[in-house]
Structure 1
Amino acid sequence: MHGHTALHLGTLDDLRVSVADHQGATVLSLVADVFGGRGHGVPSQWRRMVLDAAPSTAATVLRPLFDPGYSVIPDCVTPTASMPRGDVLTQCEQLRDLSADVLLAELETEFAGEVPTQWRPVIDRPTQWIRAYAQVVQAVWQAFVPVWERARPLLERETERVGSAVVRGCADTVLSGLSSRCRMTDDRLLLPDPQNDTYALDGRRIVLVPVVSGPSTCVFALDRTDLVWIGYPLPGLGRLWHADAGPRPAPDGDALALVVGDVRARVLRAVAAPAAMGDVAARVGCSPANLTHHCVRLEQSGLIARYREGQYVRLWRTVRGDSLVELLT
């Protein structure tokens, strides 16, 4: 991780965590990847969908928001302004009613009067830019609605997964496994960010936002007074990349699989005693490469450990992993 922002969580037992299936976070990730060069890993077919749907001026309209020199999205126009509630089409209506004076005042405050070059066209014609920006956001969203509808079962499952973990006192397990780009260190959640900032949760609520975009998605806002929100890849996202690949239902009655996922639950159960990765792969029923992916995430969550013994890599459950399996079995 080349840079990160740290969120100090405080006492883990006191965490307040909820889920929001917020459409705006998905749109933000899509346009950041396709037009802003942010590398969220949006698959090629979705990139083509966004490019075909967006107006020809989209790249120019969005350039100020994702400029590599100074990237900032004013609160009054961000697709996530209504977090944790709201939908994209309602926000587009609100954008069209947005006063140019509100946008200009926010830019003045953000840049302390020294507005960067890329924002000059917005300053010169704010009303026209607002309308063009709303048109881009609406066009991208309307093209993506069929994908969002296919994602509903996965979004519902994710809400159930997080809720189950919170009720069982395992919210930290969910946070530590949000994505390969995030990790937990003691009471700190580290999020990829070249700004290298530090924030304290200070009792605020954490809103987790599963994003239907790419596997490298990580978008967040930690500076609100009432809550922090963190957007991360929707688990099972790859099943949506092909129209005929429907989401699989959660294992019936398996609380451990609901919280950590089916494959990772099987891995945890398979390594109650130290075992070679090859043997675990056979027991779990997945390829060595797929097993390695899941083991990295389980290790980042502090649930398993790995060590090399000669030509073999062995896995075993940590004390934390034992406690989780016992709690959810």
Structure 2
Amino acid sequence: MQGFSELRLGRLDDVRVSVVLHPGATLLSLTAGTLGGRPHGIPRHWRRAVVAAAPRNAAEVLRPLFVPQFSVIPDCVSPTVSMSEADTHLERLADLSPDTLLAELETEFPQALPAQWQPVVERPRAWIQAYAHLMRVLWQEFKPVWHRADSLLKRERERVGSAAVADHLETVLTDLSPRFRFSGTSLGLPDQQANRFDLNGRRLALVPIVSGNGASIFAFDHPDTVWIGYPLPALGVLWNDGAQDTTPADSLVLTLGRARATILRVARTSLTMSEVASLLHSTAAAATYHCAQLEAAGLLVRERHGRHVRVHVTPKGDALVDLLA
């Protein structure tokens, strides 16, 4: 059964956060979600396109990386080992020495080499060549989608930046992904080798991923930076192959999303939940979800009055609306 690794953040006021637009994280998520059997929520037509482009031996080549109940990928073959462009990683991968791979496997598994890596150890050069070819093919197939996401990625950078400047980082962390768990001082991420980690003064790099709505990859072992890959908001625009919405959004919308920004603005006067749902043109369940997320971030309060639940903005939420007006 899959558990959660916990990243203990400490005081959010002390967290240094940045957004990194890193195509390597998207390439890894895309590979894991289409050919690795991991639940990244990639839409069916994208999966079909990737599978159709992949060489016939793709499943065999990737087996060591994505064996069930196992999530270790050696740094020398991971597209996320550095924050470089995916093309640069592919060039390095093509020149990877078998000795480098074997040495890293020995360091990673000092006691006993897992069975799935045994064929790689027996023919390391052949495996590196097959893996490098596979990753190059997948990236060439998906690279146009990454470029189409450019305006959405830049908008996400602005959204997180606005929240950080306004000291409302919790509004971002609360809603990174439905698969994550944010408690206020820690962030839980789905992990087959669940463990606890401390941010401990390191920079927190948020990496939006252009693949599926269940994307979740991260690295907690770097000395200076912890990075977390999460689904890029508004991915549906790309999934549907429609034109991107380039209408400039105001800072509150960029920080909270359109629905929650609307709720926070109108909740300065007390509203019932049915009024919120009507305002958003949404179901009662959707309105409840958005209000619950705002409440978890300390921006909204829900109170029962007789048969009705009413919502109103908190002083903290009021200050955020004024700041980002």
In structure 2, what is the Cα distance between the partners aligned to 1:191 and 1:72? 15
Partner of 2:311: 315
Q: Which moved more, 1:172-181 or 1:152-161?
A: 172-181
Partner of residue 215 from structure 2, selected from 210, 214, 217: 217
Equivalent residue runs for 1:46-195 within 5 Å: 46-83=46-83, 86-195=84-193
On the 8 A contact 2:70/2:192 being kept in 1, the answer is no
Equivalent residue runs for 1:256-295 within 5 Å: 256-295=252-291
Whichever residue aligns with residue 15 of structure 2, its letter is L
Equivalent residue runs for 1:185-264 within 5 Å: 185-251=183-249, 254-264=250-260
On the 8 A contact 2:25/2:80 being kept in 1, the answer is yes
> Normalising by the residue count of structure 2, what TM-score does the alignment of the two structures yield?
0.92
Superposition RMSD on alpha carbons, in Å?
Answer: 2.1
Secondary structure of the equivalent of 1:295? helix
Does 2:37 correspond to 1:37? yes
On the 8 A contact 1:177/1:298 being kept in 2, the answer is no
Per-residue deviation, residues 48-101 of structure 1 (Å, max 9, x unmatched): 111011111111111110101433100111110112xx1112111101111111
In structure 2, what is the Cα distance between the partners aligned to 1:129 and 1:206? 34
Per-residue deviation, residues 87-135 of structure 1 (Å, max 9, x unmatched): 1121111011111111111111111141111111111111111111111
Structure 1 residues 193 and 299: alpha-carbon distance in aligned structure 2, compared to 1, 3 A threshold: farther
Does 2:313 correspond to 1:298? no
On the 8 A contact 2:69/2:192 being kept in 1, the answer is no
Aligned residues: 325
C-alpha displacement of 1:23: 0.6
Secondary structure of the equivalent of 1:65? coil
On the 8 A contact 1:236/1:247 being kept in 2, the answer is no
On the 8 A contact 1:270/1:284 being kept in 2, the answer is no
Secondary structure of the equivalent of 2:117? helix
Secondary structure of the equivalent of 2:188? strand
Structure 1 residues 214 and 306: alpha-carbon distance in aligned structure 2, compared to 1, 3 A threshold: farther
Gaps of 5+ in 2: none
C-alpha displacement of 1:265: 0.1
On the 8 A contact 1:250/1:258 being kept in 2, the answer is no
In structure 2, what is the Cα distance between the partners aligned to 1:308 and 1:130? 61
Whichever residue aligns with residue 272 of structure 1, its letter is R
Partner of 1:13: 13
C-alpha displacement of 1:277: 2.2
In structure 2, what is the Cα distance between the partners aligned to 1:74 and 1:103? 8
C-alpha displacement of 1:260: 0.9
C-alpha displacement of 1:305: 4.3
In structure 2, what is the Cα distance between the partners aligned to 1:216 and 1:173? 19
> Normalising by the residue count of structure 1, what TM-score does the alignment of the two structures yield?
0.91
C-alpha displacement of 1:213: 0.8
In structure 1, what is the Cα distance between the partners aligned to 2:106 and 2:16? 35
The share of aligned pairs that are identical, in percent, is 52
On the 8 A contact 2:219/2:226 being kept in 1, the answer is yes
Per-residue deviation, residues 174-215 of structure 1 (Å, max 9, x unmatched): 222211222322321222224331111111111110000111
On the 8 A contact 1:184/1:301 being kept in 2, the answer is no
In structure 2, what is the Cα distance between the partners aligned to 1:140 and 1:180? 27
On the 8 A contact 1:96/1:131 being kept in 2, the answer is yes
Whichever residue aligns with residue 52 of structure 2, its letter is D
In structure 2, what is the Cα distance between the partners aligned to 1:323 and 1:4? 34
Gaps of 5+ in 1: none
On the 8 A contact 1:179/1:232 being kept in 2, the answer is yes
Q: Which moved more, 1:56-65 or 1:8-17?
A: 8-17
